[in-house]
Structure 1
Amino acid sequence: MEVSKLLQKAKKGDDEAFYELMQIHKIRLLKVSYSYLRNEADALEALQEVTFRAYRSIKKVKEPEYFSTWLIRIMLNYCHDQSRRKKRIADTDLLDSLAETIDHSQSIEIQEALQKIDSRCREVIILKYYHDLRIKDIAEILERPESTIKTWLYKGLKALRNQMEDRSGLNV
């Protein structure tokens, strides 16, 4: 069934429709939560909490085409809360996709370099390259203009490149 029809049913209290919506988005939400929380158990707990929060406030979704963005925003907010609470730094699983041909030690260097860049830039890089989100989608999720997202992406990639060059002379 189409997401917009499922959303309409879920907003009217249809639990089955809500369950189907969550099944459609479950994998993407788990990937987002795991990339931030760096722990499978924490990622599953995040999915459970986000499911509860989404269920509780499903009626707030105005446009069906933004349902996915709305869910990701809830997940990001939850992950940020957890990171602040536990003083964690967002994960950089992006590196696995960026560095398939780079050996393990270089991958660790990239992860460490990514941890040292500005958190806003790191978040945009993760959303763009690991989660394959478009600039427009990232802008909606982070509630910022597209131009700001592009700036953060540019600055983040430049900072990551500089970190890598400083660390090992690797040209990224």
Structure 2
Amino acid sequence: MGTEQLVKKAIKGNDDAFLQLIQTYKVDLYKTALSFLRSEEEALEAIQEVTYRAYKGIRKIKEASYFKTWLIRIMINYCNDQLKSRKRVILNDEMLSSLGVSENHTEMELKDAMLGLDEKSREILTLKYFHDLKIKDIADTMQCPEGTVKTWLNKALKALREKLEEKGGNVNV
């Protein structure tokens, strides 16, 4: 059975279909949570909370083909709320290398630089470089035009470069 059919059944109240969908996307949810929260325990807790929120809100989905985007958006919002409450930004080694940060910059410098960025910039950099999402998918997730995502991404990268240059050294971002 296709994903869209499962989504349509879940919207109509089929719990088994909803559970199948969560099983299908649990790895994506986990990776998203881990990239933001940087703790296995917190990521697992986030999956539980997001599953609950998705279950409560499943009937709000208008387009079955956007289920994954909708689910990831719930996770991102949850993680951002958690980070706001802790007032810190989390990065992982995979994201650092995928951003192409020069070896002259330590992980701490990059964390500091990311902390200096606005929430939208941190989010877009995470989606693009950690999750390797295409511009179109980021636009769907953030519910904005692709051109806007490209502009935000360029501004986020420029701001990150500037923050890192303040720390000194060459930047490969």
For this structure pair, what is the TM-score category when the shorter chain's length is used for normalisation?
0.7 to 0.9
Q: Is the CA contact (8 Å cut-off) linking 1:110 and 1:164 kept in structure 2? A: yes
TM-score (norm 2): 0.86
**Which shows bigger deviation, 144-153 or 56-65?**
144-153
Deviation track 1:61-112 (CA, whole Å, cap 9, x = no partner) reads 12121001110111112112222223233x2232143359848x63333333
CA drift at 1:4? 0.8
RMSD: 2.1
Show the counterpart of 1:92: 91
Q: Is the CA contact (8 Å cut-off) linking 1:50 and 1:78 kept in structure 2? A: yes
TM-score (norm 1): 0.87
Q: Following TM superposition, where does structure 1 have runs of at least 4 consecutive aligned residues deviating by more than 4 angstroms? A: none
Q: Is the CA contact (8 Å cut-off) linking 1:96 and 1:107 kept in structure 2? A: no
Show the counterpart of 2:78: 78
**Which shows bigger deviation, 67-76 or 105-114?**
105-114
Task: Among all aligned residue pairs of Structure 1 and Structure 2, give the percentage whose two residues are the same amino acid.
Answer: 49
Q: Is the CA contact (8 Å cut-off) linking 2:102 and 2:170 kept in structure 1? A: no
Query: Aligned partner of 1:34: which letter?
Result: L
Show the counterpart of 2:17: 17
Q: For the residues of structure 1 that align with 2:36 and 2:166, how far apart are their CA atoms?
A: 25
Q: Secondary structure at the match of 2:106?
A: helix
Show the counterpart of 2:127: 127
Query: Aligned partner of 1:134: which letter?
Result: K
Q: For the residues of structure 2 that align with 1:162 and 1:119, how far apart are their CA atoms?
A: 17
Q: Is the CA contact (8 Å cut-off) linking 1:121 and 1:153 kept in structure 2? A: yes
CA drift at 1:115? 2.4
Q: Which runs of 5+ in 1 are unaligned?
A: none
Aligned pairs for 1:1-172 within 5 A: 1-89=1-89, 91-93=90-92, 94-99=95-100, 102=103, 106-172=106-172
Deviation track 1:96-155 (CA, whole Å, cap 9, x = no partner) reads 43359848x633333332222222112111111111112222222222332222121111
Q: Secondary structure at the match of 1:128?
A: helix
Structure showing greater relative contact order (alpha-carbon pairs closer than 8 Å, 6 or more residues apart): 2
Q: Is the CA contact (8 Å cut-off) linking 2:102 and 2:171 kept in structure 1? A: no
Matched residue count:
170
